[in-house]
Amino acid sequence: MNELKQICKEALTEKKARFIIAYREDKNKKTKPFIARTPEDAEQIIFNHQAVNNLAVYFPRFKNSGEGKIGIVVKSCDLKAVTALIQENQIKRDDLFIIGVNCSGVVRDTTMEFSNDNTQIKCKYCQAKTPPYYDELAEESKEFEMPDDDQAELMARIEKMSSDERLEFWSAEFEKCIKCYACRQVCPMCYCEKCIVEKSEPQWIDTSSTARGNFSWNIIRAFHMAGRCIGCHECERACPMDIPLTLLTRKMGMVASSEFGYRHGMSLTEPALIGTYSTSDKEDFIK
Amino acid sequence: MEEYIVSLDNLKKIADELLNNHCRVIGTTSENKFKELNYAEELVLNPGAVPTSSSFKEFFFPKTEPLFFYKQNHSNVDLFNPIQDKSKIVIIGAKPCDAASLPIISKVFNWDYKDDLFNSRYDNSLIIGMSCHYSDEFCFCNDLGSSPENMKGSDVFLKPLADNYFKVVSVTPKGAEFINEYQKYFEKDLGKNKSLERKEENPKHFDYDKVKTWLDNNFENKFWDTAGEMCLGCAQCAFVCPTCHCFDIVDEQNGSCAGRRAKNWDACQFSLFTKHASGHNPRDNQEKRYRQRISHKFKYYMDKFDEVLCTGCGRCSRGCPVSLDILQIVEEINSLSGNSNSIQ
Amino acid sequence: MEEKFEPKIVAFVCNWCTYTGADLAGTSRLKQEANARLIRVPCTGRIDPVFIIKAFENGADGVLISGCHPGDCHYNAGNFHARRRWILFKNLLDFIGIDSSRLHFSWVSASEGKKWVDIVDDVIDTVRAKGPFKQYKKMNKEIEIPVDVEEGVSAK
Ligand code: SF4
Ligand code: SF4
Ligand code: SF4
Ligand code: SF4
Ligand code: SF4
């Protein structure tokens, strides 16, 4: 525990980073993101099972914000977002001071203790509890029991449905949407300065939260995440209406991997899936 | 005046009759959400439940609603007004922090322009409140002059008794009329059913007057640079809040020559909220937008309408993806105001 | 008697190949059904999936997208980029419940007037067999002028 604090303190004292995006605990023992700017701030830094936030979401805010490296505390899964942002030319590796943490799983429901039933599904598939690269590494990694993948069951159920049934299922889910765009705001990969829903000449996607507006929004958001989502599950956690958003993005990730053998956020040098092409991409569906 | 009690079963019977009379009956369900009920059986009243994740404001101020429809007719444009659903709205089981929101936002909807859409629903509604036996680290109704027993905004108020009974308090003439109308379902209170008391008291967290004074003097204070810096601008907080009432007006096309003008929820946490057509944005970062949220709630609304634009329900904090806790922010302001009233 | 259902098809076609091919079909006086409305875009690479959604929103029962054969793109690689997006988008729509009977893709060159006619007829038949896109039309209800409205006012 002290180790992470120590590393951050040193980094700030020795100006290896101009500030560090990290986690702290508030007086109600809630873990939340904060920015440590001074070695004293670093005293507050913690990491635990409740450290769910993907802190890479804060990067766009600091684009061209001055000299010096940005420090960030990352779990292995969050590092994928960092890698993906580097792949998409949003940030440079050299501008980052990455403090990796060995992760022992994070909670699904932040109001409850960490347990087998309260572990995020992504933790089950996490291949590297230690981030693949970093400037400093902290925390002990502890074994934990793997959660059930109830999402895979739901996915299989949907895949067995007829297309009409599927449309009915998703229409009912999207109907609940209130167009708060929390899903977009928490997503580290949604960094567009002007989102497509904000483009009003013409208005491509209705801003109204009608059945039609909700449907278009959710489809297009999922499409923009196709092969780009790094699976942090933040969108679904943030959605106040409990729409199973990661079911869509996960499905698209599976398509990216089966059709193109591609996984986003896994390599600093591989070009991003969208934006490149191969002359041998499949075309059996084109007449 | 006679004192009454009512059983849960009879409340459901009342709900049934209301449904048969084409009222819109809104109550909490087993999922602890406000829902327009199809059957009275769906109603679940649990005074010990956490406030629902979303408030019931959508039944008075929907997330989207048409103002008018238009259609091109040669060189003219024909306009059509939608017919208002005039059914009576009955809310059953509103917590004090829910019920209190209606008289608060009613003020802004009746300030210079009278918002018929809101008024036609609110005037034609009946709110059955219920005392609250829940409190967590996010609740702070006590600090705003309310309490878990507060009847503000309710027409009828229920106090839980043992064995699924409720003591019935008539709060407004509307409420008395209602009790009269459904007399047969109410029983005389013989004092037999033990009343269920709250286990713990809600603690006091801050002194509102101190907070207000600080806000009056500290629009420019370095506190604001960090208070909202982790806010993502997702506006989840505003959309679930019972008192947030901002809206946007948009035209929406359907085909080439027709469409509608709609009124949609909007929120000050969106970067587009204050963006001018020129491209200039006076609230150009999230810190300023967060200051606006806090100031609107605890200062501007008080200045203009003599009410705090917050009931202390804590929904915004419970749902915030980055755990920004409005109560802790206000507490911080409270402690700041202890040592300085000056502009920094 | 119920009227026979005639589907509305929106076809997004690229300027250089398919549009010219469709033109050739016309000048060669090849017969085709009249249900498809063509929208000409510079290149298939210009077709944002949101166009497809917009077409459905505006009442299309089916959508056809067509452009130059791989290797023939006027801008060299527009259709390659497009193809990659289509694979993803098609799979997404399929998962959401809009299957391949409503969304069609083809490569039609400037000289393939006959192929164009065959494809359009085939698409129309498929969509006709599938029936009107009721589910999407239902989603428009809130935006349509309701049947019971207060009498209208007319504005110049
Ligand atoms: S779409 Fe959701 S799961 Fe995927 S990167 Fe964005 S927030 Fe994370
Ligand atoms: S939804 Fe699409 S357009 Fe909007 S921010 Fe995300 S990626 Fe950008
Ligand atoms: S977070 Fe949920 S409710 Fe909000 S816009 Fe996204 S899908 Fe809709
Ligand atoms: S819910 Fe939290 S992160 Fe979202 S806008 Fe509100 S305060 Fe900011
Ligand atoms: S600001 Fe938060 S605590 Fe206050 S009424 Fe709104 S949701 Fe409830």
Report how far residue A76's alpha carbon sits from residue A86's, in angstroms, rounded to the nearest whole number.
15
Tell me the domain boundaries of chain C.
9-154
Is B285 within a domain? Answer: yes
Q: Is B150 helix (H, G, I), strand (E, B) or coil?
A: coil
What is the DSSP-derived secondary structure letter of residue B166?
Answer: E
Least confident of A197-201, B97-101, B201-205: B201-205
Assess C134–B contact: CB distance below 8 Å, yes or no: no
Give residue B188's pLDDT: 87
Query: Quick check: C80 pLDDT over 60?
Result: yes
What pLDDT band is residue C153 in, cutting at 50, 70 and 90? low
The answer for C 49-68 residues in CB contact with A (under 8 A) is 49-50, 53-54, 57
Q: Are residues B214 and B165 in the same domain?
A: no
Cβ-defined contact of A234 to B240 (cutoff 8 Å): no
A70, A86, A95, B224, C28 from A65: Cα distances, Å: 10, 17, 11, 19, 62
Report how far residue B132's alpha carbon sits from residue B313's, in angstroms, rounded to the nearest whole number.
11
What pLDDT band is residue A1 in, cutting at 50, 70 and 90? very low
Our count of domains for chain B comes to: 2
Residues B153-185 pLDDT 10s: 999 999 999 888 999 999 999 999 999 999 999
Query: Quick check: A40 pLDDT over 90?
Result: yes
Query: Quick check: B208 pLDDT over 60?
Result: yes
Residues A205-215 pLDDT 10s: 999 999 999 99
Residues A129-145 pLDDT 10s: 889 999 999 987 788 88
Minimal CA separation from B86 to chain C, in Å: 14
Nearest residue by C-alpha to atom 4 in ligand 4 = B234
Mutate to test the pocket of ligand 5, among B138, B208, B241 (most ligand atoms within 8 A of CB): B241
Is B319 within a domain? Answer: yes
Chains touching chain B through at least 3 C-beta pairs below 8 angstroms are A, C
Spacing, Cα B312 to ligand 5 middle (Å): 5
Residue B256's domain spans which residues?
Answer: 208-339
Cβ-defined contact of B234 to A210 (cutoff 8 Å): no
Cβ-defined contact of B324 to A32 (cutoff 8 Å): yes
- ipTM, two decimals, is 0.90
Cβ-defined contact of C142 to A222 (cutoff 8 Å): no
Give residue A191's pLDDT: 94
Is B146 within a domain? Answer: yes
Cβ-in-10-Å burial (0-12, 13-18, 19+) of A13 comes to: exposed
| Chain A residues within 8 A of C12 when measuring between CB atoms | none
Would you say the C-alpha torsion B40, B42, B47, B52 has a positive or negative sign? negative
Query: Quick check: B187 pLDDT over 60?
Result: yes
By the 8 A CB rule, do B53 and A180 touch? no
Q: Are residues B286 and B158 in the same domain?
A: no
| Chain A residues within 8 A of B239 when measuring between CB atoms | 178, 180, 240
Give residue B344's pLDDT: 40
Mutate to test the pocket of ligand 5, among B206, B297, B320, B325 (most ligand atoms within 8 A of CB): B297
Cβ-in-10-Å burial (0-12, 13-18, 19+) of A132 comes to: middle
Q: Which of C88, C106, C130, C134 to mutate to test the interface with A (most CBs of A within 10 A)?
A: C88
Option in C71, C97, C142 nearest A170 (CB):
C97
Question: What integer is the mean pLDDT of B8-32?
Answer: 94
Question: What integer is the mean pLDDT of A52-75?
Answer: 91
- Report the percentage of chain A scoring pLDDT > 70: 99
Return the structure tokens found at B102. 């209606």
Give residue B343's pLDDT: 42
Nearest CA in chain A to C104: A286
Atom of ligand 2 nearest to the CA of A228: 7
Question: What integer is the mean pLDDT of A53-58?
Answer: 95
Which ligand places an atom closest to the C-alpha of A78?
Answer: 1
Return the structure tokens found at B137. 């680290």
Query: Quick check: B20 pLDDT over 90?
Result: yes
Q: Is B165 helix (H, G, I), strand (E, B) or coil?
A: strand
Chain centre distance of CA A142 = 22
Report how far residue A74's alpha carbon sits from residue B180's, in angstroms, rounded to the nearest whole number.
63
Query: Quick check: C2 pLDDT over 70?
Result: no
- Residue A174's nearest CA partner among B26, C138, B251 is C138
Give residue A201's pLDDT: 81
In CATH terms, the fold of domain C9-154 is Rossmann fold (3.40.50)
Q: Are residues B170 and B32 in the same domain?
A: yes
Minimal CA separation from C138 to chain B, in Å: 13
Residues in chain B: 344
| Chain C residues within 8 A of A179 when measuring between CB atoms | none
By the 8 A CB rule, do A32 and A38 touch? no
Residues B129-147 pLDDT 10s: 999 999 889 999 999 989 9
Is B105 within a domain? Answer: yes
Q: Are residues B231 and B180 in the same domain?
A: no
Return the structure tokens found at C91. 């799979």
Spacing, Cα B271 to ligand 4 middle (Å): 12
- Residue A190's nearest CA partner among B234, B230, B268, C89 is B234
Give residue B341's pLDDT: 45
Mutate to test the pocket of ligand 3, among A183, A196, A235 (most ligand atoms within 8 A of CB): A183
Chains touching chain C through at least 3 C-beta pairs below 8 angstroms are A, B
Least confident of A144-153, A185-194, B239-248, B315-324: A144-153
Atom of ligand 5 nearest to the CA of B138: 3
